[in-house]
A and B are shown apart, each in its own frame.
Chain A
Amino acid sequence: MLTLQNVTIKFGGLTAVNEVSAQIDRGVIFGLIGPNGAGKTTLFNIISGVYAPTSGIVNFDGQDITGLAPYKINGLGISRTYQNINLFSKMSVLENVLVGCHTKSAAGIIPSVLRTDNQRLEESTVRQKSIEILEFMDLADKGNFTACNLSYGEQRRLEIARALASEPKMLLLDEPAAGMNGKEKEELSETIRKINAKGITILLVEHDMKLVMNITHQICVLNYGKRIAFGDPEQIQKDENVIEAYLGGGIDV
């Protein structure tokens, strides 16, 4: 579904992502792990169009999407969340999800100003859909809250809700469990599984090894921008390169 071919990006002298190749099959939960500064977020930024790679190709569903603008990539079916929460903080929780519906609705400026029948119909469909997504993400009772007033964990869930509203084929999650407590993490694992069960392919960056090892089907390990290992969770836990990269301490599971 998503293929990376020798993707490289340089920031001045620093090679943040170095000749990374990977193939992510439709329907899997694919983990991307590595120490801080390994280049995981940068790789997300390349896939989602924030950065154009210095060299290499990103191919999604048979289409070359290398260097395409983020809004176009979202339109093609890749949606993401951010490591540093990036909500529309003064909008309500429901409005954040409504914005997420942008690519899956069509009303232009004139129908919106005139509130044509079609526009009103679309608006009520979109609202209904957004409320359902909030229910799915367990945020239904917070719909009228201003986004910045949510707790940290709730804000992370809202980011996922907003991303789901664009009906992605593939969802990129950048450290979705950061700042969550144990119970929240367990619920999150369950939610990610449920999203995956809907047929959405998931690319997951996460530092919580227990969570990663529990829910991913395949894992790719980055270190200093390079891919150092690839395999299923069991293989990764035994991999010598990986153990060494994590300071010889092995991976805490």
Chain B
Amino acid sequence: MLTKIKNNKVAGIAVLLIAVIIAVMLRERYLALILCFICINSIAVTGLDILFGYTGQVSFGHAGFYAIGAYTSTLLAKNFGMNPLFTIIIGMIVAMIFGIIVAFPAAKLVKHFLSLLTIAFGQMVFMFVSVTDKLTNGYSGILNIPDVSIFGHPIKTNQAYFFFLLLITAVVLLFKRNLINSRVGRAFIAIRENPHAANGIGINVRFYKIVAFAASAMLTGLAGALYAHLVGFISPDTFMATQSNLFMTMLLFGGIATFLGPVIGSAILVIVTELMQSLVSYQMLMYALFILAVLFYLPNGVVGIAKWVKESLINKKQGKTHANATERHN
């Protein structure tokens, strides 16, 4: 009972603290933008987590899906004057279709062959948006991407867009949790753990790998589309291999196959990237350092530390009550 109240208090303080931070940040246009980036990356990395964290299929080409979502939504909104709310959904679906196309050959491959295929895919999308001047305006990129509008009210400020993104992120996380705790999610994890045993117990491994690719590409595509309408400008630069590596770093650092890992990893890396804005040329080095930290010290990412702390606290508490009990006995 006492611990329950204590826990509620801690949770309450945490929420309050976060609310205050958000309120302060929201007063600044720039800080609100950072919160928006955290949401967008959380969605993209959650997509990668479904594929890599839960199903065990590696991808170093997720910038490709991010680009497909961004360019599809942008081109439809700009060239046909469609409402971005719809073009974002179409961007998501197109990314999903590409996910399925990639999955057909990918579902037969493992480990390094799969890495190579996904790298090639990311590179192909990057080349495509770079060279198709007529369609995508090539290296110069596309300017003045229209704002999202809800019921005819355009979302103009970063602050307002943040609340829109927060809602979407919450829904994405809820859907992810539902999926993972279902028959389909268990099939994903079974494939990661032991594909032969999964096949033997009635799981169509190839089919579920394709489903995982589709769901993953869809979420990362959604993030790409949301990004385009936030920033109002896209160019191939944003969708280089670096972006794929960044998603992977965020996932590994936050903690793979966890509920909050992608969010925590996104938050930390977005903030660190912003702080290091003046040292852009060292970005890859920084990601490498994060990956090394994971490899050597944090096999389960930041979420792993949190779990470890929680478990040792519980152990301590149990130790204490145990000590109390023996004392009373005396």
A72 to chain B minimum Cβ distance, whole angstroms, is 8
Query: Which listed residue, B175, B186, B204, B211, touches A99 by the CB 8 Å rule?
Result: B186
Kindly state the separation between the CA atoms of A112 and B215 in the bound complex, as whole angstroms.
13
Interface of B is mostly: helix
The answer to whether A79 touches B184, judged by C-beta atoms less than 8 angstroms apart, is no
A-B contact pairs, 30 of them (CB 8 A): A70-B196, A71-B202, A71-B203, A74-B202, A75-B202, A80-B200, A88-B193, A88-B198, A89-B194, A90-B193, A91-B186, A91-B189, A95-B189, A99-B187, A99-B190, A99-B198, A102-B186, A103-B201, A106-B183, A107-B184, A108-B184, A109-B179, A109-B211, A112-B182, A114-B175, A114-B178, A119-B182, A123-B182, A123-B183, A126-B183
A-side residues, CB < 8 A to B, are 48, 50, 69-71, 74-75, 79-80, 82, 86-91, 95, 98-103, 105-109, 112-115, 119, 122-123, 126, 162-163, 166
Q: From B183, which residue of chain A is reached at the shortest CB distance? A: A107
Is the CB of B324 closer than 8 A to any CB of chain A? no
The answer to whether B194 touches A162, judged by C-beta atoms less than 8 angstroms apart, is no
Q: A166 contacts which chain B residues (CB < 8 A)?
A: 201-202
A16 to chain B minimum Cβ distance, whole angstroms, is 18
Q: From A119, which residue of chain B is reached at the shortest CB distance? A: B182
The answer to whether A112 touches B203, judged by C-beta atoms less than 8 angstroms apart, is no
Is the CB of B61 closer than 8 A to any CB of chain A? no
Q: From B200, which residue of chain A is reached at the shortest CB distance? A: A70
The answer to whether A74 touches B185, judged by C-beta atoms less than 8 angstroms apart, is no
The answer to whether B194 touches A87, judged by C-beta atoms less than 8 angstroms apart, is yes
Q: A80 contacts which chain B residues (CB < 8 A)?
A: 200
The answer to whether A79 touches B178, judged by C-beta atoms less than 8 angstroms apart, is no
B146 to chain A minimum Cβ distance, whole angstroms, is 29
Query: Which listed residue, B182, B190, B211, touches A107 by the CB 8 Å rule?
Result: B182
**Further contacts, 16 of them, CB under 8 A, given A75-B202, A123-B182:** A69-B204, A71-B204, A71-B205, A88-B189, A88-B193, A88-B198, A95-B189, A99-B186, A99-B203, A102-B186, A108-B184, A112-B178, A112-B184, A113-B175, A126-B183, A162-B201
